[in-house]
Amino acid sequence: MSYAPLACVSPVAQRRPNACCNASCRHASACEATRGGDERLLDMRSVVERVGPFSEGDRLVQPGAPHRAAFTVLTGFAKTVGDGRVLAFHLPGELFALDIARSHTHDVSVVAVGKTWFCRFPKDATDDLGDTNTDIAQHLRHLRRRERQVSSRSGDGSALQRVAGLLADLLRRRRAIEGPGQFVPLPMSREDIGSYLGMSTATVTRMLARLRDSEAIAIRADGVDVLNEGALLA
């Protein structure tokens, strides 16, 4: 898939300072910005802005744009794209776009998958919080290190192992947000999955079919139900 440059922000996107950033937010218990409501990190809620809505394919940021904020998905789904391939998928509550090159500009795009709202954490404001709150400073450093490690991972293993591993990873992350369950939403295209895993769309489809035939998963129109989690981790 070709990812041609588009406007950084959807024409209808709006910023709403502090909107919904409290314990009543659906994803408050899983929000990485506050580690699910850790009292030592709650000052992060004082700087957040809600941004959206973004439609399918809209860019939140794109290469060359100044690094002015980190983000979480509030509702919907997003992907990071760089060098012509998908580098990461982002679920609600996950904080990303923290680890930026020394040029202080983005070298990737963050793209909405379907209708998506984001929480925006302005860099200047979070830097100021880190200067006065050592817990926030340490938390953000930890998340930056993790983001760097995730972005450097390669697609090891067979095609089947990589597809199964992605499903297991998405299931683990979804449970952190929604609680116990076996459903893994797949709003992204098979082409995006193949781009992320380093394989063709046809191979992704074949591997999902093999997992279905082995009764590890049941395929639905909007994702998969995991029937045998152990088989995904084997």
Long-range pairs for 142-149: beta carbons < 8 A, 24 or more residues apart:
143/32, 143/95, 143/98, 144/98, 144/99, 147/96, 147/98, 147/99, 148/99
- Domain regions of the chain by residue span: 14-151, 159-233
| Residue 144 binned pLDDT confidence (cut-offs 50, 70, 90) | confident
The pLDDT of residue 26: 66
CATH number given to 14-151? 2.60.120.10
Tally Cβ neighbours within 10 Å of residue 88. 18
The pLDDT of residue 3: 42
| Residue 104 binned pLDDT confidence (cut-offs 50, 70, 90) | confident
- Over residues 220-225, mean pLDDT: 95
Among 198, 142, 143, 144, which residue's Cα sits nearest to residue 166? 198
The pLDDT of residue 7: 40
User: Which residues does 147 contact at the CB level (< 8 Å), separation at least 6?
Assistant: 96, 98, 99
> What's 159-233's CATH class?
mainly alpha
More confident position, 12 or 45: 45
The pLDDT of residue 150: 66
- 159-233 has the same fold as 14-151: no
Query: Residue 100 pLDDT more than 80?
Result: no
Distance between CA 25 and CA 74 in Å, rounded? Answer: 9
The pLDDT of residue 5: 39
- Over residues 99-108, mean pLDDT: 77
Read off the pLDDT of residues 5-43 as tens digits, 9 standing for 90 and up. 344 444 444 555 444 455 557 667 778 888 888 899 999
Mean pLDDT value across the chain: 86
Read off the pLDDT of residues 126-143 as tens digits, 9 standing for 90 and up. 999 999 999 999 999 998
- 15 pairs with which residues across the strands? 51
Instruction: Indicate the pTM of the whole model.
Output: 0.85
Long-range pairs for 146-150: beta carbons < 8 A, 24 or more residues apart:
147/96, 147/98, 147/99, 148/99, 150/88
- High-pLDDT (> 70) share of the chain, %: 84
Distance between CA 171 and CA 228 in Å, rounded? Answer: 12
| Residue 98 binned pLDDT confidence (cut-offs 50, 70, 90) | confident
Q: Are residues 57 and 4 in contact, defined by beta-carbon separation less than 8 angstroms?
A: no
Q: Looking at the chain, how many residues does it have?
A: 234
Read off the pLDDT of residues 61-85 as tens digits, 9 standing for 90 and up. 989 889 899 999 999 999 999 988 9
